[in-house]
């Protein structure tokens, strides 16, 4: 079957993806469950506008993939169509049509024939807007005036009588916008939707009770000591994961007062790997510069209590979708992209490699430090 996404997914994986999406899981949750990049998940979701497609089923009596394999093997052995048909218990005409519509005897391949059979089976029923030009034009005009699909549906129901052919549900309008394969409404009209989303969002997709908010006993940033904000006292860190191509990543930590950067090699982004890696690296630093660590809401630091017990760092968690609360770390990650561009795999990076990159940042003058280097500032504090 044709693959879709980066990298490709099997039919079983795509079915699980849609089942999880229907159940209300987020893109991040689905990506973790399937061990696929979030971009691959989004690509599949966008292919159908976020609408869960029905399970594909073959019509009874159609050839199975196993039968197509037998046809392919029979042709390779030089058997006649009648002989192949007898071995399958099928009419010779069925085998003949199958071969003729799939490139003929010399080029017949079972997998290609199977793919084409599924493609031919896609006979979507034209939606209401497709065969009613007047209604389609009216809906497009209202969308261009920034009306929502629900407002349009309500207006039509109030203006036109039942049976007039000038009524349509708001979901049909959304589907006609998001499922571009329908070719009914121009894609540009989605820009007039207030949400700005490229896909239809499942009503169950909320962050309430989801994976990223289930960190036990997480201490919010609002409870962080005021001394952290003024940067007068060193030892307060911000951290996050910097992601690479595929499922590769490193941890980045930066000290707020000196901007001293520490990079941590990680073989995975699960809780145990991240906790162990951070603990091993941070315990190499003097105790007086290990006071607090502010992290985002990622579940990779769900083991924050263990990290605190090992390193002495009190861990605080930023508010959801508030990267400015870790602005020093965000800025440092942008600087790191000079050495680790987006799309670069970090799988082969060793801790020595990362130490060399961190050394470059820590020995570069910084305007915010009056052109001192982070290394010099930290050394001065430790003397």
Each of the 383 residues of the chain gets a pLDDT tens digit; together they read 444 434 468 878 888 888 888 877 788 878 887 888 888 888 888 877 777 877 777 777 889 889 999 999 999 999 999 999 999 999 999 999 999 999 899 999 998 888 888 777 665 566 778 788 899 899 889 888 888 888 999 999 999 999 898 998 888 888 777 776 556 777 777 777 776 666 666 544 444 444 444 688 899 999 999 999 999 899 999 999 998 887 789 999 999 999 999 999 999 888 899 999 999 999 999 999 999 999 998 888 989 999 999 999 999 999 887 889 999 999 999 999 999 998 889 999 999 999 999 999 999 999 999 999 999 999 998 87
User: What are the contacts of 234-237 at 24+ separation with CB within 8 A?
Assistant: 234/258, 234/288, 234/289, 234/378, 234/381, 235/288, 235/289, 235/290, 235/291, 235/292, 236/291, 236/292, 236/293, 236/294, 237/292, 237/293, 237/294, 237/313
d(CA 52, CA 54): 7
> What secondary structure letter does DSSP report for 367?
G
d(CA 262, CA 147): 50
Q: What is the pLDDT of residue 317?
A: 94
pTM surpassing 0.75? no
Q: Give alpha helix (H) positions in the chain.
A: 11-22, 27-34, 38-47, 65-76, 81-88, 92-100, 104-107, 110-121, 133-144, 149-159, 170-178, 271-282, 304-311, 327-336, 351-362, 374-382
Query: How many residues does the structure list for the chain?
Result: 383
CATH code at 221-382 = 3.30.420.10
Q: What is the pLDDT of residue 208?
A: 44
Q: What is the pLDDT of residue 316?
A: 96
d(CA 297, CA 316): 10
> Which strands sit side by side in the sheet containing 314-317, from one edge to the other?
261-265, 249-255, 236-243, 292-295, 314-317
Q: What dihedral do alpha carbons 209, 213, 217, 221 form, nearest 10°?
A: -140
Q: What is the pLDDT of residue 93?
A: 93
Cβ-contact 258, 285 below 8 angstroms: no
Q: What is the pLDDT of residue 290?
A: 95
Cβ-contact 328, 238 below 8 angstroms: yes
Q: What is the pLDDT of residue 182?
A: 59
């Amino acid at each position: 079957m044709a693959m879709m996404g980066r990298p490709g997914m099997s039919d079983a994986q795509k079915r699980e993806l849609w089942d999880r999406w229907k159940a209300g899981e987020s893109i991040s949750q689905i990506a973790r469950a399937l061990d696929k990049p979030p971009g691959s998940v989004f690509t599949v979701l966008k292919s159908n506008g976020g609408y869960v497609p029905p399970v594909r089923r073959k019509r009874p009596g159609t050839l199975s993939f196993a039968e197509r394999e037998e046809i392919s093997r029979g042709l390779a052995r030089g058997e006649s169509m009648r002989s192949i048909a007898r071995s399958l218990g099928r009419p010779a005409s069925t085998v003949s049509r199958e071969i003729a519509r799939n490139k003929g005897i010399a080029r017949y391949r079972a997998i290609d024939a199977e793919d084409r059979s599924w493609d031919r089976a896609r006979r979507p029923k034209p939606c209401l807007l497709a065969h009613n030009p007047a209604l389609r034009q009216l809906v497009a005009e209202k969308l261009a005036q920034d009306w929502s699909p629900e407002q349009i549906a309500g207006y039509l129901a109030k203006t036109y009588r039942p049976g007039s052919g000038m009524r349509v549900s708001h979901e049909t309008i959304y589907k006609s916008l998001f499922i571009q394969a329908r070719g009914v409404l121009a894609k540009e009209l989605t820009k007039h939707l207030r949400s700005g989303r490229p896909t239809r969002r499942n009503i169950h997709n909320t962050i309430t009770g989801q994976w990223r908010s289930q960190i036990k006993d997480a201490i919010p940033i609002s409870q962080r000591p005021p001394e952290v904000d003024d940067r007068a006292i060193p030892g307060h860190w911000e951290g996050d994961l910097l992601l690479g191509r595929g499922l590769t990543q490193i941890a980045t930590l930066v000290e707020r007062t000196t901007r001293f950067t520490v990079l941590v090699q990680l073989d995975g982004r699960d809780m145990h790997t991240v906790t162990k890696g951070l603990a091993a690296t941070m315990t190499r630093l003097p105790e007086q510069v290990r006071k607090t660590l502010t992290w985002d809401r990622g579940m990779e630091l769900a083991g924050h209590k263990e990290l605190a017990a090992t390193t002495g760092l009190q861990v605080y968690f930023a508010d959801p979708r508030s990267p400015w609360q870790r602005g020093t770390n965000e800025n440092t990650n942008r600087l790191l992209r000079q050495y680790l561009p987006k799309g670069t795999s970090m799988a082969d990076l060793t801790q020595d490699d990362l130490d060399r990159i961190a050394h470059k940042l820590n020995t570069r003058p910084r305007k915010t430090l009056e052109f001192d280097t982070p290394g010099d500032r930290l050394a001065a504090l430790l003397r």
